[in-house]
Chains A and B, each alone.
Chain A
Amino acid sequence: MSGRKVEYFFSFRSPYSYLSGPRAFALADSYNVEVEFRGVLPMMMRGQSVPRAKALNTLRDVDREAKRLGMPFGRIHDPLGDAAVRCLVISELARDQGREREFVLVASRMIWSEAADMATDDGLRLACEGAGLAWGDCESAIESPELMERVEANTQALADLGQWGVPVFNFNGERFWGQDRIEDLEASLKEAGLEKS
């Protein structure tokens, strides 16, 4: 490990974040970098507006992109509000246990392709246990102010970078916004000599 890091800003309410997940976490398999997951609150919970036209066209575009990437998409339960917050604090717990990759991939797939309601214990428990987390730990985490503070710190860190949308990758002072910019991030990782042989 070279000690280099890619910060990965992600929102459970962003379908583009969902699309980015498998490739984002896989960066650590192909490059000598640590992928640091940083879950942030949805745009609409950060005081930003999402016009209807944007929301509709995002769904249409993501549907095409999901098909291209071979990812399931289309049966959706909008996680705005409690569902997003619960997923975010569990992500922090999962980070502590080294299972954030598993949890983020499972939970986001369930939201965007299985219409799982993460605001309910039934929905969230399936995602947690699917990621190898103990439900008892997760129940405690949901009420944890410390974990919520970490989510808020992630959200502030994104704003401090001058970024608004997600997914965003921050590497070596450069910001890459969008699931379709992972190839540019990879070019930078290669230029930095971080490709695994």
Chain B
Amino acid sequence: MPSLVVRLARNDRRARIACGLRRRLGRKGRVELYFAFDDPNSAVAVIDLAIRLDDFDITLDLRPVVNRGIPDDPAVEDKRRHAIDDARRLFKRSGLTMVRTEPIRPETTAFLAEWVAATPRGAARSAFCVVALKKLWLEAGPEVDQADYARIWERNFDRPTPVPHLAAVRANEKMMKRRGPYDTPAAWVHGQWFFAHDRLSQIAERLDDLGWRKSS
């Protein structure tokens, strides 16, 4: 059975045909990135990929989630704690310093996921996610004050924060599960998924391989 899974995973023909078709129809490639504001490794992935994927003719579809992970996972608190140390080292690779030293509870930043999920995809939404994640993990003190993020939102969008959209967050969680990933940050790249913070360069290589690099 495991050998069969590996053999089947190596057959990438469908993704290649689909990408070719998309290009002929004038459509862009696509990376769906499932992330959580309370997850420091999501911050690593979103902040990096927002820049790294500029070189590709793709849409980076940032999809915030709140509920994720292995149901009844006995190690969930250990994982949250470990993620802090791990993300600090990953940020360090990029020359960034993570200031936060304690995990954030998922419910504390759920409002951010609901705002983002309530807003149409686009450059402004992506920019907000990057700025908010930087503030949460690289700049802010221990408290998460909703008013601070509302001000960022207003500056970014030139309008007040939207009505929170819990159903849209749940839809993202459902779609993430359907795609296969069970935890964040997870990138879905034309038929393959990657733990995004672990595989930043591999995501770019996949897009290169599928022919999505912008021609100079």
Give the interface of A toward B (CB within 8 A). Answer: 47-49, 51, 53-54, 56-57, 59-61, 63-64, 68, 73-76, 78, 115, 162-164, 174-178, 180-181, 183-184, 187
* A73 and B198 within 8 A (CB): no
Q: Which of B7, B81, B89, B193 contacts A184 (CB 8 A)?
A: B89
User: Distance (Å) between the CB of B103 and the closest chain A CB?
Assistant: 13
Chain B 130-152, CB-CB to A under 8 Å as 1, else 0, gives: 00000000000000000000000
Chosen A-B contacts, 11 in total, with CB atoms closer than 8 Å, are A49-B70, A51-B70, A51-B182, A57-B181, A60-B192, A60-B193, A61-B194, A64-B192, A163-B82, A175-B82, A180-B198
* A53 and B180 within 8 A (CB): yes
Asked if A177 meets B82 with Cβ closer than 8 Å, knowing A75-B3, A76-B3, A78-B2, the reply is yes
B158 contacts the other chain (CB 8 A):
no
* A56 and B180 within 8 A (CB): yes
Cα separation A78 to B79 with both chains bound (whole Å) = 26
User: Distance (Å) between the CB of B182 and the closest chain A CB?
Assistant: 5
B10 contacts the other chain (CB 8 A):
yes
Asked if A54 meets B6 with Cβ closer than 8 Å, knowing A48-B75, A68-B202, A177-B82, the reply is no
Residues of chain B with a CB closer than 8 A to A53's CB: 177, 180-182
B5 contacts the other chain (CB 8 A):
yes
Please tell me the size bucket of the interface on B. 35 or more
Interface residues of A: mostly helix, strand, loop or mixed? mixed
Cα separation A61 to B79 with both chains bound (whole Å) = 20
Q: A181-B89, A184-B93 are in contact. List 4 more A-B contacts (CB 8 A).
A: A49-B70, A57-B180, A61-B199, A63-B6
Residues of chain A with a CB closer than 8 A to B92's CB: 187
Q: Which of A48, A60, A68, A174 contacts B74 (CB 8 A)?
A: A48
* B85 and A174 within 8 A (CB): yes
* B5 and A56 within 8 A (CB): yes
Cα separation A185 to B5 with both chains bound (whole Å) = 32
* A57 and B89 within 8 A (CB): no
Chain B 64-94, CB-CB to A under 8 Å as 1, else 0, gives: 0000001111110011011001100110110
Residues of chain A with a CB closer than 8 A to B10's CB: 63
* Closest 10 pairs (CB-CB, A-B): A164-B75, A76-B2, A60-B9, A74-B6, A184-B89, A162-B78, A59-B5, A76-B3, A63-B6, A53-B182
User: Distance (Å) between the CB of A165 and the closest chain B CB?
Assistant: 8
